[in-house]
């Protein structure tokens, strides 16, 4: 095979199916046509499989067909181990694929969104091409909300072909070496994508890849935007897509996956947003998919359970649905996993039904106790917000319990309405030092005006945290483990201190979270210090090094009075005036830094 | 030139305060090779003056020809090299520097410089006195590691160089270093001595001093001679001829701190605490050391405080001062102290006035 590992389902089963619509799973270039069709004994297998699931196969959509084709392939590989007699699904098959929605009714996506996409596509396909100046639809949404599924189902519903661009697999080094010795030049994946888009723009889709069906309509689907590293590559991708939006004649759907929860330091999310905006301004329409509602997920899960004849309690399904966070793919996989071990499911549902309702609810989001559930990531600000707002239960349920450890009135606090602070810290990937700084900067806003004692205990805990964080900086820095323990202990003290100390939170309202001013202060302080010592040399002729503290406390005020300022090479005002301009400078510096960082990142993609 | 520098005694014989110590030092270096020295004592007592006079005594006037340099060192620390930049003041025979300016990398500075000095050992015209003197300021602010490495290098290179250490508090210098040095305590000059110096300067400058004026400055300056002379000069610029009741201008940062103290006394709330933080930041930006901020703040607060609270407040100030040394970010601890004070004071007000 060439360097492209594009998997092509070729039209080997055209004859025996004869269905009007068919999917090209991948856009393929004619020269790189790689075909395993010859080894695919689909004709031999087909009748058996469709026979075993005849009820379904009537409504088999093209999507399913692919799956079947793959199944065939699997069976070939596995040496026909699958016995056709098994009524239940074999476990080799993922439920996610098996229960891909085949009709509009099965889609868990909100009806209105589906309708929106459907009408858009129908309009584009039915009316003459030049009627619309925008032929591109962007669908956004987080992972697993059924973006692709929706389009696939709609396409099969209205009888259109989907032509997909799939990003070619990355070339690994050995492969590259092999290729170059064989005389094949390397092209970057972004180049390939650009070429593809160029072709589509100029010539439309190549009809030769759809033999015999020239009259049916085609939808181009771009599911996987090429990964771009660095600003320059991203700009190329953007211009390329904008051109596509402006000039294409083929209805095109572009999927953009939201990374709402990703780390804010990552540029990808920001770029994707930028990309969307520029595409929209170029005339593309956009449909945003929301996370799937718990009810819809539950409905789907229940349906699957029914079809698989597994007896899963409603409660359990409820749990899975809630833990999935609107990601239906994840929910289905979780369901399959928990069905693998029926006895475990039983245990869990038993243990869950026993305790009181509140406890169960607390368990729901506890990712540790469940074998499934997405480990949510949080942004730093989200975590800070949780700590600072300090939401607690209205009444202490645990306190009524006799077994709990009793503390004095003034030390007892209502239970937290959140996970353990350490877990949140872990999810937010918080570094101890910045967390402490951020808390210190912002916590006072969140205290009620009267609560001076609270303010003291909060600041006192922060001071403890600072001591903990500082103590590793000398000797221990070499011992990573000790450092880590101190770091996490420091962070934990800071966070818990803030949570515990703030016993009378001010009524919650919107607060902006500020960046610690301390960072600026430290910078400008050290700069001022250098400046001051320098000035001392020029202002007066001395034969001894002044200590910085003496300089600041004794010399500079006097120098100011004596009007030495005028003679200094660079005047700088003491106290109030000085800081503002410096802050500006630093902000500017900050921006510059960022820009230079970005430009440094620009590496030609390889 | 400031009067502080202008009337700084150049030789050990000219010294007006600590005359006895000066004579002893003179005897020490004229008779024999001098040992390592550790000068300690409060700020403005005359440590630096004595050190400089001593250097002159040893090396003659060449010790006064100094140049200021921003030196860069590349230190090879195992796996990586560390770039250090430090201001030094050096003559042919001595180098003066403040290693604590290098922050937590101070230990490299200490080792590297001494090593370098030991390498190029000066040869006197007479072929004698083949040693250099290294003056290290603020030894008490050196980290523990730096002090350890200092101890080691002190022994290793003692043949080729002498150390003169200078610090405020000898309690923050490790025992090991103290025992290797001749410790010389420089007391703060008494008020009478300060007055004497001021009158001497007044005479040299041909100023008419009203009776008791110098005493007032001396009292205000808290036994800090440098400060007394600086204030004296400020008064001179402000108004001359002097009047007996002329106000002696306080330092601006001290005024600022007393302003903060007033703020704290007026209202005790998290909001006010936040404002106080902003003001403390201003002080820190201008490089006022946090220990001094805390100390001064306590001083100002105590002035306005009811006697029965003083003990507790002092306790907490000491507590957070210690914390500050252990910790990294001074503002955390200053703020904790202010919060504690507010909390105590508020409780007190409620208890007293209901």
pLDDT for residue A179: 76
pLDDT for residue A325: 74
Surface of B (38-97) touching A: CB under 8 A: 43-44, 48, 51-52, 64, 66, 68, 87-89, 96-97
> B-chain residues within 8 Å CB-CB of A459?
273, 332, 335-336, 338-340
Helices (H), A83-230: 95-98, 111-126, 147-158, 173-181, 189-203
Q: Can you tell me the distance from the alpha carbon of B270 to that of B335, in angstroms, rounded to the nearest whole number?
A: 11
Q: Is the ipTM of this complex over 0.90?
A: no
Q: How confident is the model at residue A584 (pLDDT cuts 50, 70, 90)?
A: very low
Domains of chain A: 11-94 (no CATH), 104-288 (3.40.50.300), 294-364 (no CATH), 380-501 (no CATH), 529-601 (no CATH)
> Are A279 and A273 in contact, with CB atoms under 8 Å apart?
no
**Rg of chain A over CA atoms, in angstroms?**
32
Which of A257-271, A329-343, A545-559 bottoms out in mean pLDDT, i.e. has the lowest? A257-271
B340 contacts chain A (CB < 8 A): yes
Which of A451-455, A559-563, A564-568, B46-50 bottoms out in mean pLDDT, i.e. has the lowest? A564-568
Task: Looking at the complex, report in whole angstroms how far the Cα of residue A177 sits from the nearest Cα belonging to chain B.
Answer: 34
Q: Is the per-residue pLDDT at A18 higher than 60?
A: no
B273 contacts chain A (CB < 8 A): yes
Q: Is the per-residue pLDDT at B46 higher than 80?
A: yes
Q: Can you tell me the distance from the alpha carbon of B250 to that of B239, in angstroms, rounded to the nearest whole number?
A: 15
Q: Is the per-residue pLDDT at A469 higher than 50?
A: yes
Smallest CA–CA distance from A502 into chain B, residue? B270
> Are B345 and B268 in contact, with CB atoms under 8 Å apart?
yes
B333 contacts chain A (CB < 8 A): yes
DSSP code for A498:
H
Q: Can you tell me the distance from the alpha carbon of A388 to that of B152, in angstroms, rounded to the nearest whole number?
A: 49
Smallest CA–CA distance from B167 into chain A, residue? A547
> Are A518 and A437 in contact, with CB atoms under 8 Å apart?
yes
pLDDT for residue B124: 55
Q: Which helix (H) or strand (E) holds B192?
A: helix B191-204
Closest partner residue to B339 (CB to CB) among A445, A455, A553 is A455
> B-chain residues within 8 Å CB-CB of A582?
285
Mutate to test the interface with A, among B221, B231, B291, B336 (most CBs of A within 10 A): B336
A603 contacts chain B (CB < 8 A): no
Q: Is the per-residue pLDDT at A154 higher than 80?
A: yes
A474 contacts chain B (CB < 8 A): yes
Closest partner residue to B273 (CB to CB) among A444, A460, A548 is A444
A99: helix, strand or coil: coil
Surface of B (4-33) touching A: CB under 8 A: 5
Query: The tokens 């960022």 sit on which residue?
Result: A594
Taking an 8 Å cut-off on Cβ atoms, the answer to whether B327 and A470 are in contact is yes
The partner residues of B85 in beta bridges, in order of sequence, read B72
Both structure tokens of A477: 């820095």
Average pLDDT over residues A351-375: 43
Q: Is the per-residue pLDDT at A84 higher than 50?
A: no
pLDDT for residue B260: 93
Task: Looking at the complex, report in whole angstroms how far the Cα of residue B219 sits from the nearest Cα belonging to chain A.
Answer: 16
Surface of A (358-387) touching B: CB under 8 A: none
Closest partner residue to A460 (CB to CB) among B269, B328, B336 is B336
Q: How confident is the model at residue A601 (pLDDT cuts 50, 70, 90)?
A: very low
> A-chain residues within 8 Å CB-CB of B61?
none
Q: Is the per-residue pLDDT at A397 higher than 60?
A: no
Q: Can you tell me the distance from the alpha carbon of A217 to that of B22, in angstroms, rounded to the nearest whole number?
A: 104
pLDDT digit string (tens) for B221-271?
888 888 888 888 888 887 777 777 777 878 888 889 999 999 999 989 888
B256 contacts chain A (CB < 8 A): yes
B37: helix, strand or coil: strand
Q: How confident is the model at residue A484 (pLDDT cuts 50, 70, 90)?
A: confident
Mean pLDDT of chain B: 84
Task: Looking at the complex, report in whole angstroms how far the Cα of residue B211 sits from the nearest Cα belonging to chain A.
Answer: 24
Average pLDDT over residues B146-158: 82
Q: Can you tell me the distance from the alpha carbon of B83 to that of B72, in angstroms, rounded to the nearest whole number?
A: 7
Taking an 8 Å cut-off on Cβ atoms, the answer to whether B253 and A557 are in contact is yes
Mean pLDDT of chain A: 66
Taking an 8 Å cut-off on Cβ atoms, the answer to whether B234 and A561 are in contact is yes
Which of A238-247, A435-444, A525-534, B197-206 bottoms out in mean pLDDT, i.e. has the lowest? A525-534
Smallest CA–CA distance from A523 into chain B, residue? B285
By the 10 Å C-beta count (0-12 exposed, 13-18 middle, 19+ buried), B80 is classed as exposed
Phi-psi region of A325 (alpha: psi -120 to 50; beta: other; left: phi over 0): left
């Amino acid at each position: 095979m060439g360097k492209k590992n594009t998997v092509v389902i070729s039209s080997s089963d055209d004859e025996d199916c004869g269905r009007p619509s068919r999917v090209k799973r991948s856009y393929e270039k004619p020269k790189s046509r790689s075909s395993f069709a010859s080894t695919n004994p689909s004709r031999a297998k087909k009748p058996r499989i469709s026979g075993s699931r005849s009820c379904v196969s009537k409504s088999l959509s093209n999507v399913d067909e692919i799956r079947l084709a793959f199944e065939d392939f699997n069976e070939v590989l596995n040496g026909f181990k699958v016995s056709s007699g098994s009524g239940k699904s074999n476990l080799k098959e993922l439920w996610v694929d098996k229960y891909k929605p085949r009709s509009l009714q099965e889609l868990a996506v909100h009806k209105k969104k589906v309708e929106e996409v459907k009408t858009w596509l129908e309009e584009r396909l039915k009316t003459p091409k030049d009627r619309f100046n925008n032929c591109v639809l962007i669908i956004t949404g987080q992972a697993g909300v059924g973006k692709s599924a929706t389009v696939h189902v709609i396409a099969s519903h209205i009888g259109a072909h989907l032509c997909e661009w799939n990003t070619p697999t990355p070339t690994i080094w050995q492969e590259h070496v092999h290729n170059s010795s064989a005389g094949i030049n390397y092209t970057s994946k972004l180049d390939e994508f650009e070429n593809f888009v160029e072709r589509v723009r100029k010539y439309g889709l190549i009809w030769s890849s759809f033999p015999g069906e020239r009259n049916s309509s085609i939808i181009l689907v771009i599911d996987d935007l090429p990964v771009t590293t660095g600003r320059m590559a991203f700009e190329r991708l953007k211009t390329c897509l904008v051109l596509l939006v402006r000039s294409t004649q083929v209805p095109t759907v572009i999927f953009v996956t939201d990374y709402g929860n990703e780390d804010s330091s990552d540029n990808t999310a920001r770029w994707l947003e930028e990309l969307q905006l520029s595409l929209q301004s170029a005339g593309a329409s956009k449909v945003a998919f929301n996370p799937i509602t718990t009810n819809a997920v539950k409905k789907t899960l229940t349906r699957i359970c029914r079809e698989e004849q597994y007896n899963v309690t409603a409660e359990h399904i409820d749990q899975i649905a809630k833990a999935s966070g609107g990601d239906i793919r994840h929910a289905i996989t979780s369901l399959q996993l928990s069905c693998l071990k029926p006895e475990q499911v039983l245990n869990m549902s038993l243990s869950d039904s026993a305790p009181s309702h509140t406890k169960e609810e607390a368990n729901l989001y506890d990712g540790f106790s469940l074998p499934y559930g997405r480990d949510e990531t949080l942004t730093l600000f989200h975590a800070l917000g949780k700590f600072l707002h300090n939401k607690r239960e209205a009444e202490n349920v645990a306190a009524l319990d006799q077994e709990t450890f009793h503390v004095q009135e003034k030390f007892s606090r209502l239970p937290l309405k959140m996970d353990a602070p350490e877990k949140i810290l872990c999810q937010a990937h918080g570094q101890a030092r910045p967390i402490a700084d951020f808390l210190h900067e912002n916590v006072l806003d969140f205290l009620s005006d009267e609560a001076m004692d609270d303010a003291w205990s909060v600041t006192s805990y922060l001071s403890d945290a600072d001591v903990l964080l500082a103590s590793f900086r000398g000797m221990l820095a070499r011992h990573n483990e000790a450092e880590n323990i101190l770091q996490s202990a420091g962070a934990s003290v800071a966070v818990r201190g803030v949570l515990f100390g703030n016993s009378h939170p001010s009524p919650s309202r919107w607060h902006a979270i500020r960046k610690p001013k301390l960072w600026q202060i430290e910078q400008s302080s050290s700069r001022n210090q250098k400046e001051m010592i320098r000035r001392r040399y020029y202002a007066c002729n001395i034969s001894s090094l002044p200590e910085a503290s003496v300089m600041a406390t004794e010399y500079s005020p006097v120098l100011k009075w004596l009007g030495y300022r005028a003679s200094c090479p660079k005047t700088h005002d003491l106290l109030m005036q000085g800081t503002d301009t410096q802050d500006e400078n630093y902000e500017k510096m900050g921006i510059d830094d960022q820009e230079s960082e970005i430009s440094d990142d620009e590496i030609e993609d390889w | 030139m400031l009067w502080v520098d202008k009337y700084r005694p150049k030789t050990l014989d000219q010294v007006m305060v600590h005359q006895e110590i000066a004579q002893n030092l003179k005897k020490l270096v004229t008779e024999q090779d001098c040992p390592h020295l550790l000068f300690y004592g409060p700020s403005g007592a005359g440590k630096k003056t004595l050190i400089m006079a001593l250097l002159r005594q040893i090396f003659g006037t060449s010790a006064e020809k100094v140049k200021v340099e921003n030196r860069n060192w590349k230190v090879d620390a195992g796996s990586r090299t560390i770039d250090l930049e430090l201001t030094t003041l050096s003559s042919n025979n001595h180098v003066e520097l403040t290693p604590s300016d290098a922050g937590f990398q101070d230990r490299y500075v200490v080792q590297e410089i001494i090593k370098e000095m030991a390498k190029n050992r000066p040869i006197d015209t007479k072929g004698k006195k083949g040693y250099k003197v290294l003056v290290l300021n603020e030894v008490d602010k050196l980290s523990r590691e730096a002090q350890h490495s200092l101890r080691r290098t002190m022994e290793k290179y003692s043949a080729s160089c002498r150390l003169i250490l200078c610090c405020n508090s000898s309690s923050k210098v490790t025992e090991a270093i103290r025992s290797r040095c001749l410790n010389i305590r420089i007391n703060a000059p008494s008020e009478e001595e300060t007055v004497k110096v001021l009158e001497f300067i007044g005479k040299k400058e041909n100023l008419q001093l009203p009776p008791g004026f110098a005493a007032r400055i001396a009292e205000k300056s808290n036994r800090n001679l440098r400060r007394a002379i600086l204030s004296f000069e400020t008064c001179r610029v402000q108004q001359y001829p002097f009047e007996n009741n002329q106000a002696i201008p306080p330092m601006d940062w001290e005024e600022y701190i007393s302003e903060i103290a007033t703020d704290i006394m007026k209202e005790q709330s998290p909001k006010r605490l936040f404002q106080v933080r902003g003001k403390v930041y201003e002080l820190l930006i201008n490089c006022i050391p946090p220990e001094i901020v805390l100390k001064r703040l306590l001083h100002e607060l105590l002035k306005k405080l009811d006697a029965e609270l003083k003990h507790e407040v002092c306790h907490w100030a000491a507590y957070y001062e210690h914390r500050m040394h252990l910790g990294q970010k001074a503002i955390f601890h200053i703020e904790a102290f202010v919060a504690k004070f507010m909390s105590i004071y508020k409780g007190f007000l409620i208890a007293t006035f209901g």
